[in-house]
Amino acid sequence: MERTFVMLKPDAVQRGLVGEIVQRFERRGLKIVAMKMVHISAEFAHKHYAVHVGKPFFEGLIQYITSGPVVALVLEGANAIDVARATMGATNPAKAAPGTVRADFALEMGRNLVHGSDGPETAVFEIGLWFGEQELVDYGRSVDAWVFE
């Protein structure tokens, strides 16, 4: 099983979409192995978005992501990274496929509701940044036999 990191951004929290978005991941069959709500600092945001330092949108991104609480999740499942990203939709909501989180609830890239790891290395880094090992809960679900071969 693969794990991935997902963050529901301040706009998702402020608009009351946390439950709806989490439900979409669960309905796909992904299992929540960690979840918390936090109001991150600028210092922490810089660590999370370090790959974007120096890009024109960086400072605005930091201001936005620290403007309110976020919900951080670790999801687990077969092909969890690709499945989570497909559920979220394209980064630009105008180009996101119908039925995805971003197509259904967002209009602009700067307020696109969710962040998800873009690959295995990123997932390991982001999960380790946001969660301690003791916060990741390993458990079985009776439904897993109906989700996974």
Q: Are 109 and 92 in contact (CB under 8 A)?
A: yes
Residue from 39, 46, 48, 115 carrying the catalytic annotation: 115
Is 115 assigned a catalytic role? yes
Residues 6+ apart with CB under 8 A from 6: 25, 72, 73, 74, 75, 84, 88, 114, 115, 116, 117
Using CB atoms within 10 A of its CB, is residue 5 exposed (0-12), middle (13-18) or buried (19+)? buried
Backbone angles phi and psi of 116, in degrees to 5 = -140, 145
Task: Write out the catalytic residue numbers.
Answer: 115
